[in-house]
């Protein structure tokens, strides 16, 4: 993300891709959270896109997540899930995290995807998984050559197709973790502990969640942390 901002200052624009093999200052969506990779096998990049190049009302965060889901499904026969608002899961473990920020007329779409790590630190907030580990669980890990570089182009092709074709909301909802199930949503800063409990009934066109409490009308949720109950 920092390199992408510097690239914009240097005159680079729409379509610029900044990649990294190591990341030591990666930030999460919530203040204080970090994405750290020591060069052991993650696909790390930020793509610069003009705001007006995204014709769908969906946030870029969800387009990036959907592009990765398509790649994992079509390329490997896996079943990823989108954990709203900005994670992709495989077998319950986090395989990717997304952070999108604005800079003038541009969107900076940052993404980290675990590709061929064989282990993760034990002190992570949530379980993590790599593409290699997910394939090994299917019995195919040793037969598929993996590398972050090999994964990048097919992913970008899926993203290009999505930006051009404007996917329907149902395509994202069908991959949404917790859809039609009871969930708890912590609003805004998790330390404030504001919680809404209800059924996750879907998404609105702007990417917000629709939560229906037992005794109330559906409410739109624009930011927060979601947990299945």
Pick the CATH number of 182-228 from 3.30.420.10, 2.30.30.100, 2.60.40.10, 3.40.50.2020: 2.30.30.100
Same fold: 2-173 with 182-228:
no
pLDDT grade for 188, boundaries at 50, 70 and 90: low
In sequence order, what are the beta bridge partners of 37?
Answer: 23
Mean pLDDT (the chain, rounded): 87
pTM value? 0.89
pLDDT for the residue 37: 55
What pairing do the DSSP bridges indicate for beta strands 93-103 and 106-114? antiparallel
Q: Tell me which residue of 136, 132, 166, 168 sits closest to 151, measured CA to CA.
A: 132
pLDDT digits (tens, 9 = 90+) for 8-40: 999 999 999 999 876 655 554 554 455 555 566
What residue segments make up the domains of the chain, in order of their start?
2-173, 182-228
| pLDDT for res 40 | 66
Sign (positive/negative) of CA torsion 47, 177, 130, 146? negative
Point out the least confidently predicted range of 26-30, 45-49, 191-195: 26-30
**H helical segments located in 49-147:** 60-76, 131-137
Domain at 2-173, CATH from 3.30.413.10, 3.30.930.10, 3.50.40.10, 3.40.50.10140: 3.30.930.10
| pLDDT, tens digit (0-9, with 9 covering 90-100), for 74-131 | 999 999 999 999 999 999 999 999 999 999 999 999 999 999 888 887 778 788 999 9
Query: Which value, to the nearest 10 degrees, does the dihedral of the CA atoms of residues 155, 112, 151, 166 take?
Result: 0
Q: Residues near 55 by Cβ (< 8 Å), separated by ≥ 6? A: 163, 166
Span 138-175, pLDDT tens digits: 876 555 678 888 899 999 999 999 988 878 889 999 99
Is residue 176's pLDDT more than 80? yes
């Amino acid at each position: 993300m920092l390199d992408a901002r510097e690239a914009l200052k240097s005159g680079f624009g729409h379509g610029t891709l900044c990649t990294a093999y190591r990341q030591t200052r990666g930030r999460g969506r919530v203040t204080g959270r970090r994405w750290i990779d020591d060069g052991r096998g993650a696909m790390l990049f930020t793509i610069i896109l003009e705001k007006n190049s995204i014709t769908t009302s969906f946030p870029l965060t969800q387009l990036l997540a959907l592009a990765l889901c398509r790649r994992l499904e079509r390329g490997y026969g896996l079943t990823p899930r989108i954990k709203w608002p900005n994670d992709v899961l495989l077998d319950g473990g986090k395989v990717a995290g997304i952070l999108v920020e604005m800079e003038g007329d541009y969107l900076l779409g940052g993404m980290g995807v675990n590709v061929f790590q064989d282990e993760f630190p034990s002190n992570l907030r949530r379980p993590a998984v790599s593409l290699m580990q997910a394939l090994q669980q299917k019995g195919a890990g040793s037969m598929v050559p993996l590398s972050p570089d090999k994964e990048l182009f097919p992913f970008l092709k899926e993203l290009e197709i999505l930006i051009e074709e404007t996917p329907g909301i149902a395509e994202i909802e069908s991959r949404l973790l917790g859809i039609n199930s009871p969930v708890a949503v912590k609003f805004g800063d998790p330390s404030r502990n504001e919680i809404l409990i209800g059924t996750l009934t879907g998404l609105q066109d702007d990417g917000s969640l629709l939560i229906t409490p037992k005794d109330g009308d559906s409410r739109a949720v624009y930011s927060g942390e979601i947990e299945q109950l």
